[in-house]
């Protein structure tokens, strides 16, 4: 049985440990869960991840109570099919999906998981980022996955609903170690219908577009939408493309996936969320400041993507140039090494490069 110290790394360490346990078909004991947090132990969104993983892997689990600071997870056979889970209030749907994405490399049958909760909430990827940046990058590894959005859920009301679809996949190494200058940006802004009169989605999109163009970045696409939700809220995402797409292709109501072309992967994505008392223009400034910092690096992917690609690098191999080795990256590397799936760091050049051989 693998034993994991869960005191550092928060919910992500828990989710990654569950993922690796399922992939290796080996039990894991996670102690001191979220021990460095003000309120340690399992919260509803973490418990939802454990319970969903247990259902998909037919696992025997101990410690499935709210507030539990230790979890023992003994997986059985991965089973495809359809599953439903309520993450609870505005618990992140996209973080739940992160627990399941790598399973495409191990399942024999398609898997679909519908989750209710927060689709666009702080401290987690927005749906636009997930569908327009993360999934396209993972397709370069050979991952066959898609996400459909039924309803947006903002913080704190939640009530969003989305479905992750996974198909059996054979992963291959990737080489994302050559920094490329972005040739354009795509702006996607959305807000609850309650905020139509305040033009929040339009103001976010306009402010982001103006700031990007002032920095010499052509805006290839601008979208502003107002969506039904259980409560007010807004989200803004910007994707930097490494190549210009020809023409306007059909896009989905909530993301940048519709115009995706595998020959031109998005280099990076950035997002932020509105909050009471925060002007729409401040949300745009937060996102465009992330873009500015990224352009000052020699990285091929943004800092959030760097962290999220680690498990796939460990599974498939490859090289990815990242902005730097964050605490999350360091913790994830330690966990992967404990599962005998090491990912190294090449520091010989001007940028850190994650390296894994398979």
Residues tagged active-site = 328
CA separation for the pair 6, 223 (Å, rounded):
40
State phi, psi for 69 to the nearest 5 degrees. Answer: -105, 10
Residue 352 marked ligand-binding: no
Q: Nearest CA to 7 among 42, 27, 34?
A: 34
Residue 306 marked ligand-binding: yes
Residue 304 marked ligand-binding: yes
Q: Alpha-carbon dihedral of residues 312, 315, 317, 318, nearest 10 degrees? A: 0
Which residues fall within 8 angstroms of residue 212, CB to CB, at 6 or more apart?
185, 187, 219, 238, 288, 291
Cis peptide bond prior to 171, omega within 30° of 0: no
Interior/surface letters 130-139, b for 16+ CB within 10 angstroms, e for the rest:
bbbbbbbbbb
CA separation for the pair 106, 124 (Å, rounded):
25
Residue with tokens 């937060």: 286
Residue 265 marked ligand-binding: no
CA distances from 149 to 10, 126, 202, 325, 340 (A): 27, 11, 21, 32, 36
Residue 246 marked ligand-binding: no
Decide: 73 and 3 in contact? Cβ < 8 Å.
no
- Strand, coil or helix: what is 205? helix
CA separation for the pair 307, 238 (Å, rounded):
18
Helix 44-57 crosses helix 93-100 at what angle (to 10 degrees)? Answer: 30
Q: What is the DSSP string of 123-156?
A: TS--HHHIIIIIHHHHHTTT-EEEEEEEE--BTT
Decide: residue 349, CB within 10 A, 0-12 exposed, 13-18 middle, 19+ buried: exposed
Q: How many CA atoms lie less than 13 Å away from 125 in the CB half-sphere? A: 28
Tokens found for residue 357: 């051989």
Residue 337 marked ligand-binding: no
Q: Which residues are annotated as a binding site for ATP?
A: 98, 304-308
Q: Please give the annotated binding residues, written as ranges.
A: 98, 304-308
């Amino acid at each position: 049985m693998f034993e994991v110290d869960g005191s550092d790394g928060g919910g992500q360490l828990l989710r990654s440990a569950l993922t690796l346990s399922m992939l290796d078909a080996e039990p894991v004991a996670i102690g001191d869960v979220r021990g460095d947090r003000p309120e340690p132990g399992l919260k509803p969104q973490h418990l939802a991840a454990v319970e969903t993983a247990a259902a998909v892997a037919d696992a025997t689990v101990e410690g499935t109570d709210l507030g539990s600071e230790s979890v023992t997870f003994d997986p059985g056979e991965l089973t495809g099919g359809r599953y439903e889970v309520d993450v609870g209030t505005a618990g992140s749907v996209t973080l739940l999906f992160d627990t399941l994405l790598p399973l495409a490399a191990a399942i024999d049958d398609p898997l679909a998981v519908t989750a209710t909760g927060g689709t666009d909430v702080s401290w987690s990827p927005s749906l636009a980022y997930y569908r327009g940046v993360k999934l396209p990058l993972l397709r370069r590894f050979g991952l066959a996955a898609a996400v459909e959005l039924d309803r947006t859920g903002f913080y704190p009301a939640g009530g969003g609903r989305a479905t992750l679809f996974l198909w059996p996949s054979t992963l291959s190494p990737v080489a994302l170690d050559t920094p490329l200058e972005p040739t354009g940006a795509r702006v996607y802004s959305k807000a609850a219908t309650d905020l139509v009169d305040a033009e929040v989605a339009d103001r976010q999109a306009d402010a982001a577009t103006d700031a990007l163009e002032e920095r010499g970045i052509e805006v290839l696409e601008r979208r502003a939408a107002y969506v039904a939700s259980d409560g007010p809220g807004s989200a803004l995402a910007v994707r930097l493309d490494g190549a210009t797409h020809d023409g306007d292709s059909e896009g989905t109501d909530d993301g940048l996936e519709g115009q995706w072309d595998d020959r031109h992967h998005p280099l990076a994505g950035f997002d932020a969320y509105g909050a009471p008392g925060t002007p729409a223009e401040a949300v745009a400034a937060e996102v465009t400041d992330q873009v500015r910092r990224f352009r000052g690096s020699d990285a091929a992917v943004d800092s959030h993507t760097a962290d999220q690609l680690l498990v796939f690098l460990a599974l498939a191999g490859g090289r990815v140039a990242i902005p730097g080795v964050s605490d999350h990256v360091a913790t994830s590397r330690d966990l992967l090494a404990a599962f005998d799936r090491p990912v190294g760091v090449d520091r010989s050049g001007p940028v850190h490069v994650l390296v894994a051989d398979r």
